[in-house]
Amino acid sequence: MLQIKSYKKKDGNTYYKFQSYLGVDKAGKSIRVGRSGFTSKSEARKEAMRLKALHEESGYQKPTYETFEEIYELWFNVIYKEDVRESTAVKTRELFDNHILKELGHLRIQAITPTHCQEAVFKWSERISKAKVMKNHCKRIFDYAITLDKIRNNPMERVHVPKMKNDNKREINFYSKDELKRFLECVKEDNNPRWFPFFRLLAFSGMRKGEALALTWQDFNFEANTVTINKTLARGKDNTLIVQSTKTTAGERTISLDPITIDTIKDWRKTQRLDYLKLGMNTNTPAQVVFTTFDNEYIQHSSVGSFMNKIIEKHSLKRITPHELRHTHCSILFEAGAGIKDVQERLGHSSYEVTMNIYTHVTEEAKEKTADIFAQHVGF
């Protein structure tokens, strides 16, 4: 199955890449090939055909779509990949390659029983937190096999997903107001001009790391003191960085910013212009990315976490992740008396669930302090 797609490089030129599933080798292992950098579709197709011929000469076997992995490949390329964002497809591919296919991939689809499925789900639930997601993905593969008349019933249908043990559950983690203040002071002391405005914006807007990394100057309205969030920087195929729309429609939002954060961002804009001008680059355009590397490239997601960890270790601060600055923003809003609906809209949550988890955590902490407040007040 051959798929050819166009893409643009930073030089502005259009190139072509392809992905092709050739079937299985003599050992029964799936063969996938991909190439990029072609200047035309015909050039890409010619190379794909050449690779196919090589595989045929070396004992290539035509896919029979009998094993779980073969059905998965067909489902992924024909159905799934076309309906989701590239970054989502990449994460799903990783789940299958790293976990699901290791348990079920080699088995003939007709031979897989509910017992096979239950044993696999038990293994996944002991190792990772996404066992339920993986079960649902598998269920879709079996449903697809039913439509292909390969099986009659879905063996994953009634499989039980064990609840995570409490010691495996990750607690909601965030900074208090004082801890956040100290963290930002430490970032500022580091004298890295791009990181302080970046982390100040994360903490005072509640936006996701990828949303901040994708911002351009045209997203800011300095007269209204607002920022519009309508895209995110994500990881695409082959670890390339891609800009795509926000995860949900709720993620597209315009939020207000406090005057100090706005002034911090304005100062960074001046610094950015001067720094890049010295390097012969004109960044005085609305489409210029707000936070970039020294080469004016997108910042890798991992670089954000690496810098944050460096600051935390250097100053012996409480350890949290960049995403937990978002939890911090949420919890401080609740402490200040903000309404659940307002917080949900500001953070771009598509459902109440995530917002309510943090709200419940904050209110439970407040309840625990109630008895102490009473005792301190009466004084006896």
Q: Residue ranges per domain, the chain?
A: 1-61, 64-169, 177-371
Residue indicated by tokens 């995530």: 354
Using CA of residue 18, residue 20, residue 25, residue 27, what is the dihedral sign?
positive
Which class does domain 64-169 fall in? mainly alpha
Is the pLDDT at 23 greater than 70? The verdict is no
Poorest-pLDDT segment among 77-86, 138-147, 177-186, 288-297: 77-86
Please give the Cα distance from 245 to 233 (Å, whole number): 9
Give the model's confidence band at 365: pLDDT under 50 very low, under 70 low, under 90 confident, else very high.
low
Taking phi over 0 as left and psi of -120 to 50 as alpha, with beta for the rest, 359 belongs to alpha
The span from the first CA to the last CA of the chain, in angstroms, equals 79
Select the CATH number that applies to the domain covering 177-371 from these four: 3.30.565.10, 1.10.10.10, 2.130.10.10, 1.10.443.10: 1.10.443.10
On the CB side of 306, how many CA atoms lie within 13 Å of its CA? 5
Where is mean pLDDT largest: 12-26, 125-139, 200-214, 348-362?
200-214
Please give the Cα distance from 364 to 361 (Å, whole number): 5
pLDDT score for 181? 96
pLDDT score for 1? 55
Q: What is the pLDDT of residues 291-334, one digit of tens each?
A: 999 999 999 999 999 999 999 999 999 999 999 999 899 888 88
- As given in the structure block, the two tokens for residue 374 are 């009473």
User: What integer is the mean pLDDT of 260-285?
Assistant: 94
**CA nearest neighbour of 210 among 142, 135, 300:** 300
Question: Whole-prediction pTM value?
Answer: 0.68
CATH 1.20.140 fits 1-61, yes or no: no
Residue indicated by tokens 């680059």: 281
Is the pLDDT at 361 greater than 90? The verdict is no
